Amino acid sequence: MDTPRTPGSTRLDGGPRGAELLDDPVRNRGTAFTEDERARLGLHGLLPPHVEGLDEQAARAYEAYGLKDDDLERHIYLRALQDTNEVLFYRLLLDHIEEMTPIVYTPVVAKACERFSHIYRRPRGLFVSYPMRDAIPTLLANRPNREVDVIVVTDGERILGIGDQGAGGLGIPIGKLSLYTLIGGIRPERTLPIVLDVGTNNAERLEDPEYLGWRHERIGGEDYFDFIDQFVGAVERELPGVCLQWEDFATPHARPILERYRDRLLTFNDDIQGTAAVALGALLGAIGVTGKRLRDQQIVFLGAGSAAVGVADYLRAALVQDGLSEAEARGRFWMVDKDGLLHAGRPDLTPDQRVYAQPEDRVAGRPRTSRGAVGLADVIGRVEATVLIGLSTVGGAFAEPIVREMARKVDRPVIFPLSNPTARSEASPEDLIRWTGGRALVATGSPYPPVRHEGRTIPIAQCNNVFIFPAVGLGVVATGARRVTDAMMLAAARALGGQSPALADPNGSLLPALRDIRAVARAIAEAVGAEAQRAGLAPQTTPEELRARVAAAQWTPGYPQA
C-alpha cells in the first residue's frame, strides 16, 4: 500500500437499525444513544429511558467489573463487553490501563486460552481450519468487516509458556489486537484475529468433550507449510497491503515462516522481532544507568529458541552499530539451552543458533555438567557477565548462587527473566534485588509489583511487547509503509530506550509506565515511519507531517458527535 490509511469514522445512518444495531459492537452505544438517535434508529423501547454519557457508562461498567471474583471472570466480563460495545470497552481499558492490561492480555490470557472452549460465548475473528484448506479465500471473504489494517494470526502451538492450545490459541490474537487498538489506536473494526487450526497434539484438548477445534493431531512437514502458503496467498489476494503479524508459532516454524514472507508482505513476527525490540529498548535504558557502553557488555542467555535468537540478533546489530565488528559482536554472546552452552562442537544446532556458538577453544577446559554440557552456572563462573537474559520458560532457573556470583563481579548486573507466565519466570524480582543487595537492574516478562529494599521502592519494568507492536502497527498504518524491516524494529527499540524513566532517575523503571504508553507509542511510531521513509518503503513527508499523520491515525474511544 503506497498511501497512508486514514482512521475514518463509524457512521450510524445507513447501517443497521433497532435490535440489529444494538447487536453490532462497533456501532452500538447502548444507553448513550440520544433521544433523537433513538427515534431515528428505531431504538425507543429497546433501551431504558435514561440517556447516559460515556463517563457514566464507564463508571457503571467498572463497578460491574469489580464484582467479579477472580481474574478469569474479569477477563470473561471484559470480552463480553468488547462483544457488546467496543467504544465502552476501550474507554474502560483506557481509564484503568495499568489494572486491566494484564487481565485482557498477559498473564490472564493464558488461562483464557486453556479454557477457551469452555468460556466461548460468541464469534470473534476467523477459524481457518485445515480441512477447509481449499476454501481459505471464502473464509477470508466471510470476515465481519471489509477494510482491515492489521491481522494477528497464530497456529496455537506455542501459546506463551503453556504450549499447544490448538484452536484455543485464538485468544492470543484477540488479546493482541485489543492492545493494537488500546495503545496504537488502530480502529477496532479494522483488525482481524485469526487462528490457523491445524490440529493439536495436546491430549487434554483432544479428550475434552467441549473442545471446539479440529480434533486431529497436528499437521506437519510439507503439508503444514503448503497450508501456510495457501493462507498467505489468500491474504495477498483478498487483503493486499494488510499488516500481518505472526504470533506464538513454535520454533521450527516461526523463523522459516518469517524468512519466507518478510520480503513479500507487510509482515513481522512479534515473538521474534517484537520481543527483541522491547528487550533491546529496556537494555538500552539499563546500560544508560550503568554509565557503560553497549559494546562493553558480555551477554548470557538462558534459552536458545526463536525468541532468544531474535533478541540476540537485535542486540548483535546494536553492538555493531556501537562500533564492534560482526565477529566481535558474536563473541559477546554466551547462549545456554537445555543441552548446555552453544558451541561449535555441538552437532545439534540450527543455522540460527550456530551464529552464537562459541569457538571450541573458548570452551576447552571449562567445567561440565554430568551430561558433559557447559551449564549456566559454569558460564557465569568463568565469564564476567554484565547481562543475563532468560527466555527458557524454566521457572527458578536463575538460582541464588548464580545470581550472587554474577553480582560479585559486576557493580550493576542487568538481569532480565523474560519467560511467561509468572510460574515460568527464571527468578522473582524480589529475590534478584535481595541477592544483589539492591544493585540489579531488573526487567521481567510478566507483571510484578514494586520491590521494597532498604527504604527504597524499586519499580519492576515488564518487558512486554505492548511497548512495540501497537506502535509499529500505528507507524505502518499512518505512513502507508510497504514492509516491516529489522531496521524499523531497531528504530522502535532505540525510541523506546530513549523514553526510559531510569535515564532521568536511576531508581526509576527501565520502561515507561503503562499510563503513558499511548504517548510513547506515538514517539515510537514516528521513529518507525521515519525509518520506513528513509528506506524508501513509505511516501516521503516532512517530520512535522509525519507527526501529524501519526497523531491523526491514533483512534481514541468516543462516540462521534452527530
Asked if 521 and 183 touch (Cβ cutoff 8 Å), the reply is: yes
Q: Is 428 exposed, middle or buried (0-12, 13-18, 19+ CB in 10 A)?
A: buried
Domain boundaries for CATH 3.40.50.10380 within the chain = 74-265
- Is pLDDT above 50 for 370? no
Cis peptide before 421 (omega within 30 of 0): yes
Q: Which CATH class is domain 1-52?
A: mainly alpha
H/E stretch holding 390:
strand 387-390
Asked if 541 and 490 touch (Cβ cutoff 8 Å), the reply is: no
Q: Is 248 annotated as a binding residue?
A: yes
Active site residue 65: no
Active site residue 90: no
b/e code 219-242 from CB counts within 10 Å (16+ = b): beeeebeebbebbbebbeebbebb
Question: Per-residue pLDDT tens for 15-65?
Answer: 899 999 999 999 999 999 999 999 999 999 999 999 999 999 999 999 999
- Is pLDDT above 70 for 359? yes
Q: Is 464 annotated as a binding residue?
A: yes
Q: Which CATH class is domain 74-265?
A: alpha beta
**176, 211, 261, 559: which one is catalytic?**
176
Return the pLDDT at 534: 98
Domain boundaries for CATH 3.40.50.720 within the chain = 271-555
Question: Per-residue pLDDT tens for 227-269?
Answer: 999 999 999 999 999 999 999 999 899 999 999 999 999 999 9
Domain boundaries for CATH 1.20.1370.30 within the chain = 1-52
Return the pLDDT at 14: 74
Q: Is 420 annotated as a binding residue?
A: yes
**105, 180, 314, 356: which one is catalytic?**
105
Q: Is 247 annotated as a binding residue?
A: yes
pTM of the model: 0.91
Return the pLDDT at 1: 43
Q: In CATH, what number does 271-555 get?
A: 3.40.50.720
Q: Is 354 annotated as a binding residue?
A: no
